[in-house]
Amino acid sequence: MGHSPLGRRPRLLSLRTTFAVSFATLTAVVTVLVGVLSYNAAARLVRVDQESVFAQVVQDLRAEVRQRRMSPGDFSSSAPGHDIVRPARTDVQVLGPDGEVSDPAGPRLPVTDADRRVAGAAAAGRMVQHEDVDVGHDAYRVATVALGGGRGAVQVAQEFSDTEDLLRALQQRTLVLMAAVVTAAGLFGWWLARHITRRLIALTSAAEDVARTRRLGIQVPVTGPDEVGRLGRAFDLMLGRLAQSEEDQRRLVQDAGHELRTPLTSLRTNISLLRRIDELPPDAREELVADLGQEARELTDLVNELVELAAGQSPGEPPQRVDVAEIAREVAMLARRRTGREIGVRACGGTTTDGRPAMLTRAISNLVENAAKFDPGGTGPIEVAVAGPAPPHSRLLPHARPRPGAGTPVSGETPVGAIRVEVRDRGPGIADGDLTRVFDRFYRAADARSRPGSGLGLSIVREVALAHGGAPFAFRREGGGSVIGFTVGGDPAGGEPSAGRTG
């Protein structure tokens, strides 16, 4: 059994979680790096400073014993001389000539054989230094400096375990601070991800609802001037166009089914009569065959126009530079051969634009065929007028603006930059009640229902005009007849909107 593409899938990390984790991870890396570097720099400065102080004290002591003849009593804690080293946060212990402690320091410092040899040394300033000397629970660095002449030595000690304790406390506080920063960054990243992805989640839910319910009328609750807002508006517009396309297809199918029902019923009736054709008189036989041929032609024309209309809704022909006036001349030449009618073409202004030549040819051809069909007697020539962009005072073609008494128009001024195509005839004209409906699918005026046709020709004109950014129009012509046409392109803000534009 197949599985629906919308079925349950393994749960993956959401964009919100991914963003929050990534933000927290990046913050943690930066915080740890900065914390470690800062701590190392601070610890190194403290240690170097402490070592420099100790080295300076030892250097001063060696210089002192070399310049002056000094004895262990000079460094006794009860003598004034001991102050030369004790103010530098150091402890001093005095050794006698035999290496015994004659004046101990605050904490009693250990004495090694090397220290005893230094105490008995003849050269003043001779030194031995010890690192990491444990005294109780503390650690010291110790330097033993000979007084010279076998008179003893002075031990100078500096405790550095308290500094290390201070650095460990600093390290712990740094770790706590880094943990707090990472936690705060994770919470902030989660809040920021929630704020950013909230509209994406709403957009995703709307898309899933459309996929699940197949309803295109869902409102997309995404706004804002940023990229997410633009995506939401584009998605909402796409749904609207899909809904309109679906509605157009539904109407087309319903209207086509309704219109096909009548000729098919008539065909079935006549076909049933064919079973008794031998019983019919010759005149009835000829009439039956003629009816079948006429109905087959009308059905063929209807199907062809339905295909044309459906193709016009989803044009596959790429736009290109076309001359609308040249297309009108080609249509007029073909119509003259087919109908024998006089068809004139007049053009003015710039008539070149971006368009689909096959669709424009079909639209102009439908207008010319419509004029010839409703003016079969040929009381006047059929005129095709094409007007491109022109100065404002000549923006409309002659007689394009309906004059008083000419009937209710379904047109307005041509938008700035648009091309206007008109087909004028001297037929019976269009009734006022039909002006607003002549471009509807399958609509046929009462006085035209006896004529051949499906009512799709002008509907195709409307679809072509809308596909080219224009609109259709129709009004009664002064002196008899009608004017039917459409515009192509242009800026709607530059002219008055069409009064009877059909949607």
In a shared domain, residues 334 and 472: yes
Among the listed ranges 36-40, 155-159, 388-392, which one has the minimum average pLDDT value? 388-392
In a shared domain, residues 257 and 384: no
**Residue 4 lies inside a defined structural domain of this protein:** no
In a shared domain, residues 258 and 344: no
The CATH number that applies at residue 372 is 3.30.565.10
Residue 415, pLDDT above cutoff 80: no
What pLDDT, in 10s, does the model give residues 119-160? 888 888 888 988 878 887 778 888 888 888 888 888 888 877
- Per-residue pLDDT, averaged over 410-422, amounts to 71
**Residue 186 lies inside a defined structural domain of this protein:** no
Confidence of residue 446 (pLDDT cuts 50, 70, 90): very low
| Helix, strand, or coil (residue 402) | coil
In a shared domain, residues 230 and 323: no
Task: Tell me the range of 45-49, 81-85, 498-502 where mean pLDDT is highest.
Answer: 45-49
DSSP 10-74: -----HHHHHHHHHHHHHHHHHHHHHHHHHHHHHHHHHHHHHHHHHHHHHHHHHHHHHS---GGG
In a shared domain, residues 324 and 471: yes
Residue 260, pLDDT above cutoff 80: no
Confidence of residue 4 (pLDDT cuts 50, 70, 90): very low
Residue 361, pLDDT above cutoff 70: yes
- Per-residue pLDDT, averaged over 148-173, amounts to 81
In a shared domain, residues 332 and 292: no
Burial class (CB in 10 A: 0-12, 13-18, 19+), 82: middle
In a shared domain, residues 136 and 284: no
In whole numbers, what is the pLDDT of the chain averaged over residues?
Answer: 75
Residues of the domain holding 335:
315-494
In a shared domain, residues 419 and 279: no
**Residue 10 lies inside a defined structural domain of this protein:** no
CA atoms within 13 A on the CB side of 198: 9
**Residue 342 lies inside a defined structural domain of this protein:** yes
Among the listed ranges 62-71, 91-100, 417-426, 431-440, which one has the minimum average pLDDT value? 431-440
In a shared domain, residues 154 and 225: no
Final residue before a domain boundary, out of 299, 314, 329: 314
**Residue 349 lies inside a defined structural domain of this protein:** yes
**Residue 352 lies inside a defined structural domain of this protein:** yes
Specify whether the CB–CB gap between 82 and 57 falls below 8 A.
no
pLDDT for res 495: 39
In a shared domain, residues 249 and 366: no
- Per-residue pLDDT, averaged over 454-462, amounts to 74
pLDDT for res 205: 77
What pLDDT, in 10s, does the model give residues 230-251? 777 787 788 777 877 777 777 7
What pLDDT, in 10s, does the model give residues 63-98? 888 888 887 877 776 655 555 555 556 788 888 888
pLDDT for res 444: 55
Output 186 or 161, whichever has higher pLDDT. Answer: 186
Please tell me the total count of domains within the chain. 3
Final residue before a domain boundary, out of 265, 287, 314: 314
| Helix, strand, or coil (residue 233) | helix
Residue 443, pLDDT above cutoff 70: no
Specify whether the CB–CB gap between 358 and 317 falls below 8 A.
yes
Residue 403, pLDDT above cutoff 50: no
In a shared domain, residues 310 and 322: no
Residue 351, pLDDT above cutoff 80: yes
Measure the CA–CA gap between 258 and 251, rounded to whole angstroms: 10
- Per-residue pLDDT, averaged over 189-206, amounts to 77
The CATH number that applies at residue 60 is 3.30.450
Among the listed ranges 176-180, 272-276, 381-385, which one has the minimum average pLDDT value? 272-276
CB 95: neighbour CB atoms within 10 A? 29
pLDDT for res 442: 61
Among the listed ranges 81-90, 196-205, 323-332, which one has the minimum average pLDDT value? 81-90
pLDDT for res 422: 92
**Residue 470 lies inside a defined structural domain of this protein:** yes
Question: Which residues are within 8 A (CB) of 9 and not within 5 positions of it... i.e. 6 or more apart?
Answer: none
Final residue before a domain boundary, out of 288, 314, 340: 314
Residue 255, pLDDT above cutoff 70: no
In a shared domain, residues 428 and 326: yes
Measure the CA–CA gap between 267 and 297, rounded to whole angstroms: 11
The CATH number that applies at residue 223 is 1.10.287.130
Output 456 or 293, whichever has higher pLDDT. Answer: 293
Output 176 or 479, whichever has higher pLDDT. Answer: 176
Q: Write the Ramachandran bin of 232: left for phi over 0, alpha for psi from -120 to 50, otherwise beta.
A: alpha
- Per-residue pLDDT, averaged over 486-491, amounts to 78
Q: Are strands 382-387 and 343-348 parallel, antiparallel or unpaired?
A: parallel
pTM for the structure as a whole: 0.44
Specify whether the CB–CB gap between 58 and 92 falls below 8 A.
no
pLDDT for res 31: 83
pLDDT for res 148: 85
Confidence of residue 494 (pLDDT cuts 50, 70, 90): very low
Question: Which residues are within 8 A (CB) of 110 and not within 5 positions of it... i.e. 6 or more apart?
Answer: 133, 135
Among 197, 53, 64, 74, residue whose Cα is nearest residue 124: 64
**Residue 87 lies inside a defined structural domain of this protein:** yes
